[in-house]
Chain A
Amino acid sequence: MARVIVDVMLKPEILDPQGQAIARALPRLGFSGVAAVRQGKRFEVELDGPADEAALADVRKMAETLLANTVIEDYVVRVEE
């Protein structure tokens, strides 16, 4: 069994008010030195078999079709070691 991670983030040009709210809250909690925060989603996809090229191609298709809305979001697929 392999685990594939799909990270989905709003595209850089899309406003992320949630990330901004987090960034504004951090100094109030005593965390200094944070320039910006962006919030995204992480999907952990467990495969029945190995994470070979065919399986990864499938996961990329999943990301493209459902996990991310590519109009506003980018995604990165990687195998968890």
Chain B
Amino acid sequence: MSARVGVVTFPGTLDDQDAARAIRLSGAEAVPLWHADHDLKGVDAVFLPGGFSYGDYLRCGAISRFAPLMRELVPAAREGLPVLGTCNGFQILCEAHLLPGALTRNASLHYVCRDQRLRVEATGTPWTSSFEAGQEVVLPIKHGEGRYVADPETIAALEADGRVVVRYLGNPNGSVNDIAGIRNEAGNVVGLMPHPEHAVENLVGAPSTDGLGFFTSILKKLVNA
């Protein structure tokens, strides 16, 4: 039985096709999920891709949080469904309070679009088990609102519990403690600003194929489950 990973499309989502392709390349089945449906289609995990869902109106992810599909996804994630949100997906996970903190305007006010060196800090999640702890990777980033902030107690708890999943090597946006990605307490929900789905094939000029690790991790988890 093949592992089925849902990819959510909101109005304004950009990276759903790349995400689906990355999921297929890793050997899993990509299942399209539509924001207006109340149906998770029985998937084993969910990928929330990047883009500008609902035009980023109000705040990035603020409207998406209330989409019909999210009303299914939030309780499922709280019960342990593996969920990975990248970029706008990370913003949605924070707005939905599945992850703590928030993503705010880059300190430079510039939209950054570049290949970014990162360090994978936490390999205990279903999305990062294929990496070595401390492994350095290069993934594309492209965002205007990626500065991770949270109150000092939350940051201290994230650091103490090893919940910082990915850290920038050279901070592109002013994120507290160079945080590029975090996980929830249970570890099944992970959010990060970089784009692993854009770094899975050399053919298209990606800076690396380091992104594949996120997809092989979840496949391994689902197949062994």
Contacts and interface: CB of A to CB of B under 8 A. Distances in A.
Interface of B: 58-59, 62, 66, 94-95, 100-102, 104-109, 147, 149-151, 174
Contact of A71 (B94, B105, B108): B94
25 contacts: A10-B104, A14-B104, A14-B149, A15-B104, A15-B107, A15-B147, A15-B149, A17-B105, A17-B106, A17-B107, A17-B108, A17-B109, A21-B109, A66-B58, A66-B62, A66-B66, A67-B58, A69-B59, A69-B95, A71-B100, A71-B101, A71-B102, A71-B150, A72-B102, A72-B149
A71 B105 CA distance: 15
A15 B147 CA distance: 10
Interface of B is mostly: loop
Contacts of B174: 15, 17
A18 B105 contact: yes
A69 B149 contact: no
A26 B107 CA distance: 19
Nearest to B106: A17
Contacts of A69: 59, 62, 95, 102
Contacts of A66: 58, 62, 66
A15 B102 CA distance: 12
